Amino acid sequence: MNTKPSHGPIHLRAPAKILWRTIRGMNPHKTKHGAAALARLKAYEGVPPPYDKVKRMVRPDAINYQELEEKRKDRAQVAYERRKQLTKLRVKAEKTVEEQLGPQLEILAPAAGGVLSVEPRKQNFELFV
């Protein structure tokens, strides 16, 4: 075949028929269930009769993203507060261990491979919002 059928003289030009043909290409239209599915498909140009009198409602994507952004910020704040609380608890626990062990810490430090230290560790938490 030297020509492309969609560019030839016999092809569907109506928007509903273009959509129908596109969907037909995606379905197994030669089988029984594919043909039945294609028979159930209804493509309209414009708004079909029961819905043409209904008020049109639009929910812009921006509103959806805005709600998701608020949720994300709330969850990030909760996670940040939790991390801060855990850091405080860890520093407090290290201080109590240091008070309880005292001079024994210097003896244990070389054996622990640097895990035990006299100074509490500094942790850097940054919140990107």
Q: Are 35 and 50 in the same domain?
A: yes
Q: Are 52 and 24 in the same domain?
A: yes
**Which segment, 36-40, 57-61, 65-69, 122-126, is predicted with the most confidence on average?**
36-40
**How far is Cα 25 from Cα 51, in angstroms, rounded to an integer?**
28
Q: Quick check: is 116 in a domain?
A: no
| pLDDT tens column, 45-82 | 998 888 999 998 877 777 778 888 889 999 999 999 99
Q: Quick check: is 124 in a domain?
A: no
Q: Quick check: is 118 in a domain?
A: no
Q: Are 14 and 49 in the same domain?
A: yes
- The token duo for 58 is 């639009």
**How far is Cα 83 from Cα 33, in angstroms, rounded to an integer?**
56
Other Cβ atoms less than 10 A from the Cβ of 97: the count is 13
DSSP assignment letter at 10: S
Structural domain containing residue 38: 9-56
Q: Are 63 and 92 in the same domain?
A: yes
The predicted pLDDT at position 22 comes to 94
Q: Are 43 and 77 in the same domain?
A: no
What single string gives the DSSP state of each residue in 64-92? HHHHHHHHHHHHHHHHHHHHHHHHHHHHH
- pTM of the full structure: 0.40
Q: Are 41 and 68 in the same domain?
A: no
Q: How far is CA 38 from the centre of its chain?
A: 33
**Which segment, 33-37, 51-55, 94-98, is predicted with the most confidence on average?**
33-37
Q: Are 42 and 71 in the same domain?
A: no
Q: Quick check: is 48 in a domain?
A: yes
Q: How many domains in the chain?
A: 2
